[in-house]
Amino acid sequence: MSELEFEKVMVFFAHPDDGEFMAGGSMVQWAAEGKQIALCVVTNGSHGSNDPDFPREELIAARESEQREAAKITGISDITFLGYEDCHVEDSHELRRDMIREIRRFKPDVVVGPDPTMYFYADMYINHPDHRKVGEALCAAISPGAPTVPMYREELHDKGFEPHHIKAALFGFSPSPNYYVDIEKAIDTKIEAVTVHQSQTPEFGSKLAERMKFMAGVMAEGAHPPLKYAESYRAIYFRERD
C-alpha cells in the first residue's frame, strides 16, 4: 500500500456481484481508511439465472437491489448502473464514452477493473467475455480517453466533463499480478457482501465462505511480505506523466 497513495477509487465491473468478488475486501479496507469509493456496474445482469420462469425484469431489479445491499455492507453509496445487456458487452465507443464520463465525473485517483488479458484460468475456467470486454473498454477509457479533450468531445468536454488524469489503474483477477491488498481484516465483511447476491450464490450454501477464503489465499501467493488473505491486481502507474 505504501507505494501508492490515493483518496478516491472508482471500481468498474460487468455484473452485479463481480465487484465484491474481485475487490470486495479491498473496498472494505479502503473504506475503513477513509477513502471515497464509487462503483460503476456495466450490465443489467439479465442473464444471471437459468430458471426459465424467472421473469427478466424481476431478475434485473433483484440484481440491482442486491448490488445496492452489498454496497451498503462495503460502505459505498455512489453506484452507477450503465444498463448494458448482460452477455452482450462489446468494447464499443458508446461504452468507452460512458466510462470516460464516469471517470471525469468522480475524478478518481485510482481506477479498478477486470484484467482484459485473463482468458483462461488454469485448466478449469474460461473468463466471461463481458469481463474481458469491460477490461478492454476500460483500458481505452483510461488512456487515451479520460485525459484527452477531443475524445467524444461534443458529448463530454463540451458538456462540462473536463479531462482527468488518474494516478494508477488496478486490474483484478489478473494472470500477472504485481500489487496486493491485505484483506485479512476485511475477509468476513467481503464474504457477507458477496452472500447478499442471493440470486447468484445459493448453490454454494455454506461452502461460499470456505471458497472465498481459499481464493483469497491463492490470491495472496506472490505477495511480499507474505499475506494470509489478499486481492491481487496488475497495477499500471501513470504518476510520472503528471
Question: Residues in the chain, how many?
Answer: 242
Q: Sketch the per residue contact string, 64 through 93, with Zn ion: x for CB under 5 A, - otherwise.
A: ------------------------------
* Residue nearest Zn ion, Cβ-based: 15
Nearer to Zn ion (CB atom), residue 97 or residue 133: 133
Nearer to Zn ion (CB atom), residue 15 or residue 104: 15
Can you list the alpha helix ranges (DSSP code H) found in 15-92? Answer: 18-32, 56-74
Nearer to Zn ion (CB atom), residue 75 or residue 129: 129
63 binds Zn ion (CB under 5 A): no
Least separation in angstroms between residue 67's CB and Zn ion is 12
Nearer to Zn ion (CB atom), residue 15 or residue 35: 15
Least separation in angstroms between residue 131's CB and Zn ion is 6
Q: Are 210 and 222 in contact (CB under 8 A)?
A: no
**Type of residue at 188:** D
- Rounded to an integer, what distance in angstroms lies between the CA atom of residue 144 and that of residue 45? 28
Q: Output the CA angle 238-239-242, nearest 5 degrees.
A: 100
- Rounded to an integer, what distance in angstroms lies between the CA atom of residue 63 and that of residue 72? 14
The contacts of residue 21 (CB under 8 Å, 6+ apart) are: 194
Chain residues 5-34 in contact with Zn ion, contact rule CB under 5 A: 14-15, 18
**From residue 13, how far is each of 207, 209, 218, 232 by CA, in Å?**
24, 22, 21, 16
- Residue 5 burial (CB count, 10 A): 11
Written as nine digits, the cell of 217 is 489465499
Nearer to Zn ion (CB atom), residue 15 or residue 63: 15
Least separation in angstroms between residue 123's CB and Zn ion is 20
Least separation in angstroms between residue 179's CB and Zn ion is 21
Least separation in angstroms between residue 172's CB and Zn ion is 11
How many residues form the binding site for Zn ion (CB under 5 A)?
3
Residues that bind Zn ion (CB under 5 A): 14-15, 18
